[in-house]
Amino acid sequence: MIFTRKWLSEWIDLKDISSEEICTTLNSIGLEVDSLTKIEIPKNVVVAKVLSCKKHPDANKLNVCEVDLGDEVKQIVCGAPNVQAGQFVAVSKVGAVLPNGMKIKEATLRGVNSSGMICSSEEIGLPKMGSGIMVLDDSIGELVLGRELSEYDVFNDEIIEVELTANRGDCQSVYGIARDLSVPLDLDLRKFESEDEEDQLGIGRVLNVNATEKVDASLLYRVCEQGKISSPFIIDLRLAIADLYRETPLDRVLEYATYVSGVLLRAYSHECFSDKNEKATIKIKKHSNKLDAVFDKKNEISSFIGIYQFEESKATLNDERVILEANYTHPEIISQNSANKNIESDRHLYLSSRGSEPNLDFGMNYLEEILKKSSEVKFYAGSQQVIQNFEEIRIPISLCELKELIGEEIPKNKIVQILKRLGFYVTFKNEQSVINVQVPQFRHDIKNAQDVCEEIVRIVGIDNIASKPLYFSEKNRFNSAYNSFMKRKMYRQRAVGVGFFETLHFVFDNKTRLEKYGLQTVYKKRDLANPITNELNTLRTSLLPNLIESVNRNIKFGKKSIRLYEIGTVFDKTRDEELCFGLVFSGFKEYPKVSNHGKPEVIDFFTFADKISQVIGSFNLVKGKPKNLLVSPYEYALIIQDGKEVGYIGRVHKQIEKDLDLYRTYVCEVDMKKLPFDRKIAKSYSKFQESSRDLSLMIPKKLSFSTIKEFIEIKAPSELVKFYPIDIYEDENFGDKISLTIKFHFQSSEKTLEDEDVNKFLDSTLKSLNEKFGITMR
Amino acid sequence: MKEFKNQIESCKSLKELEDLRVSLFGKKGFFAGEFAKMKKLPPEEKKSFAQKLNEDKEFFLNTLNEKKLHLEAEAIAYEMKKDGVDVTLFNQASEAGALHPVMDTMDKIIEYFVAMNFSIEEGPLVEDDFHNFEALNLPKYHPARDMQDTFYFEDGMLLRTHTSPVQIRTMLKDKPPIRMICPGAVFRRDYDLTHTPMFHQVEGLVVDKSGVVSFANLKYILEDFLKYMFGDVEVRFRPSFFPFTEPSAEVDISCIFCEGRGCRVCSHTGWLEVLGSGYVDENVFKAVGYEGVSGYAFGLGVERFAMLLHKIPDLRSLFEGDLRLLEQFR
């Protein structure tokens, strides 16, 4: 809702209240103020009158005008098509500086002198009002030639923009805002009274309303004869400020009356409902789609009530006789009946589905008043109506419960006073702690005691309620979610310690990309129905594509060593959720620095695996076949922890490295729930000295270390505590063998091992390796 | 004698000193020679000669040891100097990574509520209409559903638009009293400068039998929480509307950038909107079959908190793994 201070003042007397206080109060009662801005018209912009207007001798589109500025008459060249002699206009005199920075100077336009500029609304900093120059009238006050525009009230105003919540249909009008604001400010709302006119003909001569079937809408009709309907400047300006400016004067007046009163108003051409000025019949009944509709003489739909009016039935300036309609339907009925109907709608649906003003008389009378003020119209006496019974809502309020809910006691008389001022009808017995409340019809949002409580709280002001700590019983709250949070946190921090950066990515992915990478995709029947873009048209089934994309992005930014991780949800093809841990490392192992002589090495499989083990703890790697095309089959392994497969590790496929201009890049994805998060159990350990030996062995190239490892493990004595490879060396002279150095650690739990004990073990191990695989010492 | 002292003092290395020690105290050294002379002396002089000689011997031994300690220390210092570096050559670029500012902010929020004896609850991202809307007093055709543009799946399921369905699940699973938060990712079909289709929320719920939990309690914990997060700020409650709470309030803090004077971040209002909250609507309790209870709920956007706390200007940069941003959080 956009309105101005002066506009609001037409309904409540704000003269003693600052605009800041208005805004603070609006905020405190739940009408959130988005902005407060002052209208500022530059100096030297004055009221003027166009005395004459002639075509420019050398330019088709320009006019040469004689303009009366009060104390002088100036010649001004004007390019607007709507300029005419006799108009009152705003002129920027020579010396004025317009909001866009333009300075008005004496000028010559195609050989004709021009001293000043006749302005459009935008040129002096107002919103757009139609096209061409702005034409003033006395709706802003007496037009004094030469007077500064900024001296007029209407240009010396402040614009307030309020953001309404979906429940406050009653505040969708200037009147509604004033009504709500009058309560905390303790001001009287101006009563609107219409005057009856004499010598009117009765409406019965020209209109008959036929509503034989049951409908949901309440309707009120009046008829008027129009001479010429015009809309005064002040209405046009205010509509422009509220961003509701309409093309024709009749539409503007209707829009304005609706915007001020909150009542939905329409104008129909009388002809659509009658033959040759005879009595018209408006038929109101349910359309087959359940919506209330108005039907014309040909039995065609003129409008869906509260939703849309068809162009053909709209009154125009050519209609001598116009039917005016005020209507109201309960917002819940409108919402339910209009949903998923795929019918056209205009601004009325927005208003009616949130709750328009039910006081039809008020809206119609207000429209009549502004029409009579500015236009030649003659109303027929009386109205035709279809009125639905209003279901009264009565709510008993227990003061005790109210106190418990708010947390402090609000005096009963204050409660009663607040509710009455808000339009509630309140009854109670003095000695009882229950008051009975009847909800006014315009408050569609109030249905139960909690709603009424909110009314009291918002008028009292939440900031005026004292905060109090809650007393409650202790309870153990360490559940599985807490455990999962702590576990995630531990792994996240470990990854950070090893040099990885935590990232977040959308849980979406592109289906084509997933397929290209050979990753699973969610079944079509369970996939996203309304993706936001094609790039994000399905759910991700792996963290890695997004992580790899981020690597690519960072390389574009000039990064040379990129280490990222994410712990997040991925989906399988049945759309089941799983928490995964994805890590990626691309480019240099380290940043260039003194310790690596500025030439850091590029990440390799073993360094990456080492980093992963620093994050997720020790594991074994076993060879496997990749289940996707994301990784190279030659640098790929399954990660085994405690005999269980927890995920995989591998080099990004060369094709993807090429396509995305990646450095050498390694990835790892593990299943979070399979990672350990339990207490460690200490094992007993030997107190005797440990000895170690390095053995360089010649092994066949094709023999996997894991095979050798398994074999040694079976053969090994209990004194062999651990062994692991520490170096590989290849040489042309070795033929189809390579040299592999293994470090063996020996320790006994009974004694310090002698050299000969160790040698004996090694000899027997070597012997069996030789027998089995033909392995020799290098 | 004096000459010996000079010799000791002028020794430049441990080697020289050792040679000198041998020449003085060795088997063929100076003192061995002097003691040998004693045999030739008359008995009455022997005692004083020996005494003098012993005193001298001890004196030189001490001098020698002192010198030795000194030279040893010098040698260590020399070694250290040899290894010395220009420490200012250290490259400040740490090899460590960093937590994501949004997740780090989420941790801080969770830690507060855990300390206040709230439990953490989790739920699925893929939800149904009942848990995400219906049970939260958002019946079909409710205009408030417009507020949340929803991602739907072909089978009618949806991506949760808030973490509130976790509250419903927890209430259905547990009995009151309930005191919980639900942190997690949520989804809305909106993608522009200030909206991303995925973001994170933390919501809280406290339920007890009627009369225990009041609106004043809600105010207390949120004021305390916001001061824990943002320091010494003013907290303001504005009545608002959420379908699942009644009364509802939006919570603002005085702008942490301009201290309430008005700046670009707070749109010159002096206030920053940070939380939504309210007293749980009775229809929500009806939906989960609770009777005779009342309570409060609140919810916040973690990205907004993180952006305010760390002055991060661009929301979308948070989801792009952009190291130019992330490296600043080491």
Distance, CA of A389 to chain centre: 38
Q: Answer yes or no: are the C-beta atoms of A770 and A708 closer than 8 Å.
A: no
Residues B320, B325, B328, B330: what is their CA dihedral angle, to the nearest 10 degrees?
10
Task: Show me where the domains of chain B are located.
Answer: 2-83, 101-329
C-beta atoms surrounding B317 within 10 Å: 14
SS3 A199: coil
- Percentage of chain A with pLDDT > 70? 100
Residue that has been written with the tokens 């249905």 in this structure:
A447
A705 Cβ contact list (under 8 Å, min separation 6): A725, A740
Global pTM reads: 0.86
Task: Measure the CA angle with vertex A43, ends A40 and A47; round to 5°.
Answer: 95
Task: Provide the strand spans (E) within A131-256.
Answer: 135-136, 158-163, 207-210, 218-226
Please give the Cα distance from B297 to B168 (Å, whole number).
Answer: 12
Please give the Cα distance from B12 to B1 (Å, whole number).
Answer: 20
Please give the Cα distance from B226 to A367 (Å, whole number).
Answer: 49
pLDDT at B146: 59
Q: Answer yes or no: are the C-beta atoms of A565 and A501 closer than 8 Å.
A: yes
Q: Answer yes or no: are the C-beta atoms of A652 and A632 closer than 8 Å.
A: yes
A480 Cβ contact list (under 8 Å, min separation 6): none
Tens digit of each residue's pLDDT (9 = 90 or more) over A292-301: 999 999 999 9
pLDDT at A3: 97
Q: Answer yes or no: are the C-beta atoms of B157 and B126 closer than 8 Å.
A: yes
* A to B CB pairs, distance under 8 Å: 254
Please give the Cα distance from A97 to A498 (Å, whole number).
Answer: 63
- Shortest Cα distance, chain B CAs vs residue A673, angstroms: 15
- Shortest Cα distance, chain B CAs vs residue A239, angstroms: 25
Residue closest to A326 by CA, chosen among A367, A378, A280, A296: A367
Please give the Cα distance from B246 to B299 (Å, whole number).
Answer: 14
Could you report the predicted ipTM of this complex, rounded to two decimals? 0.88
Q: Which residue of A has its CA nearest to B146?
A: A166
Tens digit of each residue's pLDDT (9 = 90 or more) over A543-600: 999 999 999 999 999 999 999 999 999 999 999 999 999 999 999 999 988 888 889 9
- Shortest Cα distance, chain A CAs vs residue B276, angstroms: 13
What pairing do the DSSP bridges indicate for beta strands A135-136 and A292-295?
Answer: unpaired
Residue closest to A264 by CA, chosen among A173, A178, A154: A173
Residue closest to B161 by CA, chosen among B192, B193, B191, B184: B184
End-to-end CA distance of chain B: 67
Does the distance separating the beta carbons of B279 and A405 come in below 8 Å?
yes
Mean pLDDT, residues B25-48: 85
> Which residues of chain A lie closer than 8 angstroms to B157, CB-CB?
526, 575
Mean pLDDT, residues A13-33: 94
Does the distance separating the beta carbons of B321 and A550 come in below 8 Å?
yes
Query: DSSP readout, B190-245?
Result: --BTTB-SEEEEEEEEEEEETTSS-HHHHHHHHHHHHHHHHSS--EEEEEEEETTE
Q: Answer yes or no: are the C-beta atoms of B23 and B29 closer than 8 Å.
A: yes
Q: Select from B90, B127, B240, B284 the residue whose CB has the most chain A CBs within 10 Å, as the one to mutate to test that interface.
A: B240
Residue closest to A436 by CA, chosen among A414, A452, A421, A458: A452
- Shortest Cα distance, chain B CAs vs residue A122, angstroms: 24
- Shortest Cα distance, chain A CAs vs residue B201, angstroms: 14
pLDDT at A335: 87
Query: DSSP readout, A653-711?
Result: PHHHHHHTT--SEEEEEEEGGGS--S---PPP---SPPEEEEEEEEEETTS-HHHHHHH
Q: Which of A532, A546, A563 sits opposite B191 (nearest CB)?
A: A532
pLDDT at A716: 83
Helix runs in A233-386, H state only? 233-241, 249-261, 331-338, 347-354, 360-374
Q: Three-state SS string across B24-72, please? A: HHCCCCHHHHHHHHHHHCCHHHHHHHHHHHHHHHHHHHHHHHHHHHHHH
Does the distance separating the beta carbons of B216 and A465 come in below 8 Å?
yes
Give me the sheet containing A32-38, strands edge to edge: A2-4, A158-163, A32-38
pLDDT at A348: 94
Q: Answer yes or no: are the C-beta atoms of A284 and A306 closer than 8 Å.
A: no
pLDDT reading at B148 higher than 70 = no
Does the distance separating the beta carbons of B239 and A30 come in below 8 Å?
yes
- Shortest Cα distance, chain A CAs vs residue B82, angstroms: 17
Tens digit of each residue's pLDDT (9 = 90 or more) over A667-689: 999 999 999 998 889 988 889 99
Query: Rounded to 5 degrees, what are φ and ψ at A243?
Result: 60, 40
- Shortest Cα distance, chain A CAs vs residue B74, angstroms: 28
SS3 A112: strand
Q: Answer yes or no: are the C-beta atoms of A602 and A588 closer than 8 Å.
A: yes
> Which residues of chain B lie closer than 8 angstroms to A465, CB-CB?
215-216, 219
Tens digit of each residue's pLDDT (9 = 90 or more) over A701-751: 888 888 888 898 888 888 888 999 999 999 888 888 999 999 999 998 888
Residue closest to A177 by CA, chosen among A192, A160, A193: A160
Q: Answer yes or no: are the C-beta atoms of A739 and A696 closer than 8 Å.
A: yes
Q: Select from B125, B141, B286 the residue whose CB has the most chain A CBs within 10 Å, as the one to mutate to test that interface.
A: B141
What token pair was written down for B124?
Answer: 């699925």
pLDDT reading at B147 higher than 60 = no
Query: Rounded to 5 degrees, what are φ and ψ at A631?
Result: -120, 155
Query: Rounded to 5 degrees, what are φ and ψ at A323?
Result: -100, 125
> Which residues of chain A lie closer than 8 angstroms to B223, CB-CB?
467
> Which residues of chain B lie closer than 8 angstroms to A470, CB-CB?
206, 212-214, 217, 220-221
SS3 A331: helix
Does the distance separating the beta carbons of A405 and B119 come in below 8 Å?
no
Least confident residue range of A369-373, A500-504, B272-276:
A369-373
| Domain range B101-329, its CATH number among 2.30.30.280, 3.10.290.10, 3.30.930.10, 3.40.50.1820 | 3.30.930.10
> Which residues of chain B lie closer than 8 angstroms to A457, CB-CB?
215, 239, 247
pLDDT at B143: 60
SS3 A197: coil
Does the distance separating the beta carbons of B247 and A453 come in below 8 Å?
yes
Does the distance separating the beta carbons of B213 and A470 come in below 8 Å?
yes
Does the distance separating the beta carbons of B197 and A532 come in below 8 Å?
yes
Mean pLDDT, residues B75-88: 90
What token pair was written down for A472?
Answer: 């409650």
> Which residues of chain B lie closer than 8 angstroms to A482, CB-CB?
114, 119-120
Residue type, position A85, single letter:
A
Q: Which residue of B has its CA nearest to A494?
A: B97
Tens digit of each residue's pLDDT (9 = 90 or more) over A62-109: 999 999 999 899 999 998 999 999 999 999 999 999 999 999 999 888
pLDDT at A631: 96
pLDDT reading at B239 higher than 90 = yes
What pairing do the DSSP bridges indicate for beta strands B178-187 and B119-120?
Answer: parallel
Residue A350: burial class (beta carbons within 10 Å; 0-12, 13-18, 19+) = middle
Helices (H), strands (E): how many in chain B?
11, 9
> Which residues of chain B lie closer than 8 angstroms to A525, CB-CB?
154-155
> Which residues of chain B lie closer than 8 angstroms to A463, CB-CB?
236-237
SS3 A616: helix
> Which residues of chain A lie closer than 8 angstroms to B240, CB-CB?
30, 32, 165
Residue closest to A324 by CA, chosen among A275, A373, A292, A280: A280
Does the distance separating the beta carbons of B151 and A470 come in below 8 Å?
no
Does the distance separating the beta carbons of A593 and B91 come in below 8 Å?
yes
Tens digit of each residue's pLDDT (9 = 90 or more) over A429-462: 877 889 999 999 999 989 999 999 999 999 999 9
Does the distance separating the beta carbons of B267 and A35 come in below 8 Å?
yes
Mean pLDDT, residues A463-487: 93
Q: What is the CA radius of gyration of chain B?
A: 40
> Which residues of chain B lie closer than 8 angstroms to A353, CB-CB?
143
Does the distance separating the beta carbons of B319 and A505 come in below 8 Å?
yes
b/e sequence A304-328, b meaning 16+ C-beta within 10 Å: bbbbbbbeebbbeeebebbbbbbbb
Does the distance separating the beta carbons of A462 and B294 come in below 8 Å?
no
Please give the Cα distance from B170 to B177 (Å, whole number).
Answer: 11
Q: Which of B153, B185, B269 sits opposite A526 (nearest CB)?
A: B153
Does the distance separating the beta carbons of B151 and A525 come in below 8 Å?
no
Please give the Cα distance from A14 to A22 (Å, whole number).
Answer: 9
What pairing do the DSSP bridges indicate for beta strands B158-159 and A577-587?
Answer: unpaired
